[in-house]
Chain A
Amino acid sequence: MQILQYLINGIALGSVYALIATGFSLIFNVLKFSNFSHGALMTLSAFSGYFIAAGNGWGLVPTILVSVLTGAAVSLFGEFVAFRRILTHNTSPVYFFVSSITLGTLYEGIVVLKVGANFYNYPRFFGKPYRIAGLFVARSDIIIFCISAAALLLLAYMIRKTKTGRALRSVSFDRDTASLMGINVTRTIQFAFIVSGALAGLAGVFLGINYTLYPTMGSIVVKGFIASVIGGLGSLPGAIIGAMLLGILETTLISIIGSGYAPVFTFVIMLVFLLVRPRGIAGSNIQEKA
């Protein structure tokens, strides 16, 4: 029974990691670089949800919408100012590293300017947890899980079945050849940034709902990176599975050995995992291309 309770507690956290991991993997897939501004983008979006919506007494849905739209818009802006020229000139990936870190620092700086080092909380959107067969299920967890699952299913459908998704996949294989097929590569990359930013915004709101809002909350994306590595870098289903496992592992460890030791053990388990299976769970075929 206790195990079941840990599982339930871990699912919401796992969903948030999954949103982070897929948003991060999406850009990694298309551009083959790690976007280290992803976490700060999440923070910025969550705070704009607070200041524009939740803080003014607006409800859950407007708060989510504001955060998601902010994430999408800022991500699009970031692509233009920080990555566009590096992309068109095909320069070294080191520049992506530098620009994404710089961009992240900028976003975080903007948040600090507004809030200082203070912690903020969204108003309580939800009532008491449900009690089902002796298990506690938080209402927020149900909402978080359902919306995340819906968003990820939509993403999977878009990538696998639509024309835009096919364009995205071909651009991620070979930009030049994709352009020879009539695909507007710049638009396609912009689209990837919009989706990735929207996912960051959604993850930000959910983190804010279940925990608190603070300027360095973006550092949690490290967990998303880990999840996407466990899953097999570049594989979206892998990232989702990795995120769920990580979320459940973490909440279980916290309940068993306390929040002091839990992160240490989590990271040790991750490192062992990567030692044993460096390709990750999905061991993607995307890597083989080169």
Chain B
Amino acid sequence: MPLLETKDLWVNYDFVEALKNVSIQADEGEIYSIIGSNGAGKTTLLRTISGLVKPKSGYVEFMGEKLPSKPHKIVQKGIVHVPEGRKTFSGLTIEDNLLVGAHLHKDMEESLETQYQCFPILRERRHQFAGTLSGGEQQMLAIARGLMSRPRIMLLDEPSLGLAPLIVNEVFDLIKRIRDMGITIFVVEQNARKALSICDKACVLENGVVTVCGTGSDLLESDVVRRAYLGA
């Protein structure tokens, strides 16, 4: 049984069909990636899984069960969504950002300590506003905040967006480490080369339709993908 599965998802905004019949399956413990260009529907897919957007038809299953409809109930099930553009709470301190991430838990101090050990920079600056962090640090904070909820699966929306290449590498290394901790990763990316090189499985999303799926290395070598997404 896959950990996360979408079944025939159709999602509309007023006049735009953003997802058309999307069925995908992510297994426990893997890095699963969706690549696609701007406007393909990647963000919509994540927002549908986390409950921010309601599908017109189709549904999402997690561990074989249909998900509840409210976002805060979905987090409770063990799915955390790190949104596009980080969306840290800029006017809250770094520590408060992390604590908000642990909203559903009682023993916050312990999780806080774990994250500070993982991200020493966040401990150093814990009393500063999140808005004072650089883009890369904000991405770290957004991921650490997500981990505070102790998820089974983390949904990441374009974690490399707007970051310098060196920082992008750091973020992807971090993603692998999180997977090694036993947390399943579902990452959507425009940066296809990077995403395909770290993922176990991937699908291509084009104009709301899933066109190709395969292992990361299969897709890296596929002619179609290379021409459309890797500039080769």
A-side contacts of B129, CB under 8 Å: 285
Residue of A nearest to B76 (CB): A182
- Does residue A167 face the partner (Cβ distance < 8 Å to B)? yes
Pairwise interchain contact A285-B91, C-beta atoms closer than 8 A: yes
User: Which B57-103 residues have a C-beta within 8 angstroms of A?
Assistant: 70-72, 75-76, 80-81, 83, 87, 89-92, 96, 99-101, 103
CA distance A177 to B92 in the complex (A): 13
Residue of A nearest to B97 (CB): A170
A-side contacts of B104, CB under 8 Å: 182
A-side contacts of B70, CB under 8 Å: 179, 184
Pairwise interchain contact A181-B101, C-beta atoms closer than 8 A: yes
B-side contacts of A289, CB under 8 Å: 90-91
Shortest A141–chain B CB gap in Å is: 36
Shortest A93–chain B CB gap in Å is: 20
Pairwise interchain contact A180-B83, C-beta atoms closer than 8 A: yes
CA distance A125 to B96 in the complex (A): 44
User: Which A239-290 residues have a C-beta within 8 angstroms of B?
Assistant: 285-286, 288-289
B-side contacts of A185, CB under 8 Å: 72
- Does residue A166 face the partner (Cβ distance < 8 Å to B)? yes
Pairwise interchain contact B89-A173, C-beta atoms closer than 8 A: yes
B-side contacts of A174, CB under 8 Å: 87, 89
A-side contacts of B149, CB under 8 Å: 181-182
Which of A181, A185, A286, A289 has the largest count of B CB atoms less than 10 A from its CB?
A181
Pairwise interchain contact B100-A178, C-beta atoms closer than 8 A: yes
Convert B143-155 into 0s and 1s, putting 1 for each residue whose CB lies closer than 8 angstroms to a CB of A.
0010001000000
Pairwise interchain contact B103-A180, C-beta atoms closer than 8 A: no
The answer, among B76, B83, B99, B131, for a CB contact under 8 Å with A177, is B83
Convert B113-154 into 0s and 1s, putting 1 for each residue whose CB lies closer than 8 angstroms to a CB of A.
000000000000000010100000000000001000100000
B-side contacts of A167, CB under 8 Å: 100, 103
Residue of B nearest to A173 (CB): B89
CA distance A171 to B99 in the complex (A): 14
Question: 22 A-B Cβ contacts within 8 A?
Answer: A163-B99, A163-B103, A167-B103, A173-B89, A173-B90, A173-B92, A177-B83, A177-B89, A179-B72, A180-B52, A181-B75, A181-B101, A181-B103, A181-B149, A182-B76, A183-B72, A184-B72, A285-B91, A285-B129, A285-B131, A288-B90, A288-B91
Smallest CB-CB A-B distances: 8 pairs? A182-B75, A179-B71, A182-B104, A177-B87, A182-B103, A173-B89, A170-B100, A184-B72
